[in-house]
Amino acid sequence: MAGSQKSEMKAIYQFLDSPLKSTEGNRVEWELNLPPKGQRELRFFMKASVDDSVSLDTAPALWFETEWTRAKRVWTDRWNSAFTPGNNFFSGNAPTLFAKDSAISEIYYRSVLTLMVLLRTNLWSDRTFITSGERAKGTVYYWDTSLFSTLFAMLEPKQMKEQIKLFLEQDPHEDAVIVFKTKRPASPEKIKTPEGWDLRGYAANDLSIFRLTWSYLSVTQDKAFLNEKIADQTVKERLQVLATDWKKLLREPSDKLSDYGEAPNLLECVPTYIHKVPSFNAANAWMMREYADIIEFAGNHSEANELRQEATEMVKAVMTLYEPGKGVWASVHRDGSRVEMRHCYDFATVGRFMAADLPPTVRREMVEFVQRELLTEKWMRAQSMLDVAAANSDRPDHGPMGAYDAWPAVTVDAMCSLGYWKDAILFLRRTRAAIYEGVYAQAREFYGPRRREYDAPIRIAQREGCMRECTGGGAFAETIINTLFGYIPKLGRQLTLSNPETPRGFEGELHHVRFGGDQFAIQSDSDGLHLRKEVNARSRSHVPRTEE
């Protein structure tokens, strides 16, 4: 029997493997003689209670082995189901990756495993990927969820659609999260459409909800969803609101860029990353262009052309924030001051959403900045140590001593979009070293006396409220599917691959890629990408064991 000095808990132990060297108080010792590379398993059983009557049941080891075997079987079945077309658990499936590159393969499957760890079946949406298990039960962040939107649409389209309906009912400026409960919140009769900007919400909400809906439409080709009613508006009308909400954030009639508020509305911990920032304004251009494609598909050509023209003007405005020769961007504060920022999020968003608009010189300078000031041997810094606000931004996810776990993935995405495939793949492979502790977390941080060096050791962040696991890690699978294998579908169009003539720098195949009601395979080799439709995709996939 053992007691705790910090609580009233009592525990009783049974040790199943001998030889014990000694047992004294709360301490137990074994003495083992092992040959080189030898191993020995030590098992014990513990039962805890808050009263003194705790006792071991009959044959506790047998009970434990039974429960362990049952849990392992449930996990194995769920893991296999995730990659099996026509399975009995998910309404869809994730693609199966076959790659000779062990680093890319492990990163992909560890990314999917992160979502499996955070899957909950006891909420109103019985296939819910909560953002982190350490937050309040059922907490789902729009932003984190949007970072694996393509994979979500492939794996669980049925529940994703129901969750998107709930997201579209919300005032996107009200909060950063939705807390899922056992019953779905009642739908409003009318959507709230506030005229002003409510500073309680994340600046990323409009983009996140738009991206989730866009991914669902693109992957499933569910054209009828556009006309489905969300309270008093259609899905199509809600997308228009999200794509043009930026106009409510213009502080002066002459402004061309939206003001996204203060640090809590943006990166939370970077005091200079405020007001008119390039990232979300670049995202506005992307949303308008994508919405233009959607309404043109519905037959509204004139409005589509107007939106594309507005997007072009937005791109021109964003370009005024670029710092020539430096590869970085500036924010414009409300007092008119222009502050140079050296953060990965501008690189990731502008590089992803405006790549085709950037001159070659700007592309090169942006990548050189990231390689010079952000990338490290095993991970990256979210913010350069040379940033003027670096000393005041030291939170592991967005500051100079670590990075949110999704940032390396979206950085690779942007590097590829900007044409630097070789450098991006080399960096992606290096990040494998950071996942030795398990699934993806909220952030990894540098630690120890060498934490400022290129080869600094890395670990799951243990400070500033960072969580032990986070769905943002799904961004790695997203980047491998979307970018490395070129899968970026569009509503109402046949499936084609992005930049198929460009070799990715690795050989592999992605099987059971869902598009509409069909399944495809994508091959990557020295000639680029090759797409073929699968004839019989309902057969059981070979997937790696979860312990691999």
The verdict on 93 and 28 lying in the same domain is no
pLDDT (average), residues 293-311: 93
Give me the pLDDT at residue 50, please. Answer: 66
Q: Read off the pLDDT band of 193 (50, 70, 90).
A: low
- In-domain check, residue 312: yes
- Whether residue 278 is preceded by a cis peptide bond, meaning omega within 30 degrees of 0, is no
Handedness of CA 61, 63, 67, 73 (dihedral sign): positive
- In-domain check, residue 65: no
The verdict on 192 and 222 lying in the same domain is yes
Q: Give the residue among 474, 444, 477 at the shortest CA–CA distance from 146.
A: 474
The verdict on 26 and 82 lying in the same domain is no
The verdict on 275 and 244 lying in the same domain is yes
> Are the CB atoms for 473 and 114 separated by under 8 Å?
yes
In this predicted model, what pLDDT tens digit does every residue of 29-88 receive, in sequence order?
888 888 999 988 888 777 777 666 656 665 666 777 888 899 999 999 999 999 999 999
- In-domain check, residue 98: yes
Number of domains in the chain: 2
The verdict on 33 and 113 lying in the same domain is no
CATH of the domain at 169: 1.50.10.10
Distances (CA, A) of 455 to 103, 201, 377, 403, 433: 19, 37, 5, 15, 11
Give me the pLDDT at residue 191, please. Answer: 84
- In-domain check, residue 540: no
| Prediction pTM value | 0.90
Distances (CA, A) of 421 to 28, 140, 418, 433: 54, 33, 8, 20
Handedness of CA 203, 208, 211, 213 (dihedral sign): negative
Which structure tokens are listed for 255? 């402004």
In this predicted model, what pLDDT tens digit does every residue of 202-238 receive, in sequence order?
899 999 999 999 999 999 999 999 999 999 999 999 9
pLDDT (average), residues 388-413: 96
- Give the DSSP H or E segment for 403: strand 402-404
The verdict on 339 and 260 lying in the same domain is yes
- In-domain check, residue 154: yes
Task: Name 394's Cβ contacts closer than 8 Å, sequence gap at least 6.
Answer: 269, 400, 401
- In-domain check, residue 152: yes
Task: Collapse the DSSP code of 193 into the 3-class scheme (helix H, G, I; strand E, B; otherwise coil) and give the result.
Answer: coil
- In-domain check, residue 61: no
The verdict on 94 and 36 lying in the same domain is no
Please report, rounded to a whole number, the percentage of residues in the chain having pLDDT higher than 70.
92
- In-domain check, residue 255: yes
The verdict on 45 and 177 lying in the same domain is no
Give me the pLDDT at residue 199, please. Answer: 45
The verdict on 50 and 150 lying in the same domain is no
Q: Which domain holds residue 29?
A: 2-56
The verdict on 41 and 86 lying in the same domain is no
Give me the pLDDT at residue 16, please. Answer: 76
**How many C-beta neighbours within 10 Å does residue 480 have?**
28
Which structure tokens are listed for 440? 């993806």
The verdict on 354 and 269 lying in the same domain is yes
Answer whether residue 196 shows pLDDT above 60: no
In this predicted model, what pLDDT tens digit does every residue of 228-272 receive, in sequence order?
999 999 999 999 999 999 998 998 889 999 999 999 999 989 999
The verdict on 397 and 471 lying in the same domain is yes
Give me the pLDDT at residue 546, please. Answer: 43
